[in-house]
A and B are shown apart, each in its own frame.
Chain A
Amino acid sequence: MTRAIRSFLAATEIDTRLAGMIGALAVIWIGFNFLSGGLFLSSRNLWNLSVQSSSIAIMATGMVLIIVSRNIDLSVGSLLGFLGYTMAMVQAMWIPTALGLGFNQPYTWIVALAVGIVLGALIGAFQGFVISYGGVPAFIVTLGGFLVWRGLIFWYAQGQTIAPMDATYQLIGGGPAGSLGFTASWIVAILASLAIGYSVIMSGRRRRAYGFPVRPTWAVVTVIAAGCVAVLGAVWVANNYFWPPALATQFARANGITEPPGGLQIPTGIAYPVLLLIGVTLAMNYLATRRKFGRYVYSIGGNPDAAELGGINVRRTIVGTYAVMGILVAISAGVQTARLNAAVTNLGVQNELDVIAAAVIGGTSFSGGIGTITGAVLGAIVMQSLRSGMVLLRVDSPTQDIVVGVVLVTAVGLDAFARRRSAR
Chain B
Amino acid sequence: MVDDRTALVEMRNVRVAFGGVHAVEDVSINLFAGEVVGLVGGNGAGKSTLMRALSGARPPDSGEIWIEGRQVHITNPRVAKAYGIETIYQNLALADNIDAAGNVFLGRELTDRTGTLDDDAMESATRKVMQRLNPNFKNFKVPVKSLSGGQRQSVAIARPVHFNARILIMDEPTAALGPAETAQVRDLIRQLKAEGIGIFLISHDIHDVFDLSDRISVMYHGKRVGTVNRDEVTADEILGMIIMGQSAEESAAAATSG
Contacts and interface: CB of A to CB of B under 8 A. Distances in A.
Interface of A: 206-207, 210, 212, 286, 289-292, 295-296, 298-299, 301-303, 305-312, 369-370, 423
Given A299-B102, A311-B81, A311-B107, A292 B117 contact: yes
B93 A306 contact: yes
19 contacts: A210-B120, A212-B120, A290-B116, A290-B119, A291-B116, A291-B117, A295-B117, A298-B97, A301-B97, A302-B95, A302-B143, A305-B91, A306-B95, A307-B95, A309-B57, A309-B93, A310-B106, A310-B108, A311-B108
Instruction: Give the interface SS of chain A, mostly helix, strand, loop or mixed.
Output: helix
Contacts of A307: 95, 106-107
Given A292-B111, A307-B95, A309-B93, A299 B106 contact: yes
A303 B94 contact: yes
Nearest to A303: B95
Most chain A CB within 10 A, of B98, B103, B111, B120, is at B98
Contact of A370 (B57, B97, B116): B97
Given A302-B98, A303-B95, A309 B77 contact: yes
Given A306-B94, A369-B95, 6 more contacts: A212-B120, A295-B98, A295-B117, A301-B97, A302-B97, A306-B95
Nearest to B146: A423
Interface string B92-131: 0111111000110011110100011101110110010000
Interface residues of B, number: 34
Nearest to B159: A310
B76 interface: yes
Contacts of B120: 206-207, 210, 212
A364 to B, nearest CB: 12
A311 B89 contact: no
Contacts, number: 84
A303 B93 contact: yes
Nearest to B91: A305
A299 B106 CA distance: 8
B93 A305 contact: yes
Contacts of B76: 311
Contact of B89 (A206, A212, A299, A309): A309
B109 A295 contact: yes
Nearest to A312: B107
Contacts of A296: 107
A328 B255 CA distance: 74
A312 B78 CA distance: 8
B87 interface: yes
Contacts of A289: 117
A298 B106 CA distance: 11
A303 B109 CA distance: 17
Nearest to B138: A213
A9 to B, nearest CB: 13
A198 to B, nearest CB: 16
Contacts of B107: 296, 307, 310-312
A357 to B, nearest CB: 22
Nearest to A368: B97
Contacts of A423: 146
Contacts of B95: 298-299, 302-303, 306-307, 310, 369
A286 B89 CA distance: 31
Nearest to A307: B95
A423 B142 CA distance: 13
Contact of A292 (B55, B115, B127): B115
Contact of B77 (A210, A292, A301, A311): A311
A298 B98 contact: yes
- For the complex of A and B, the 10 pairs showing the least CB-CB separation, nearest first, are A310-B107, A302-B95, A302-B97, A311-B78, A369-B97, A310-B106, A299-B95, A311-B107, A306-B93, A311-B77
A305 B106 CA distance: 12
Contacts of B96: 302-303, 369
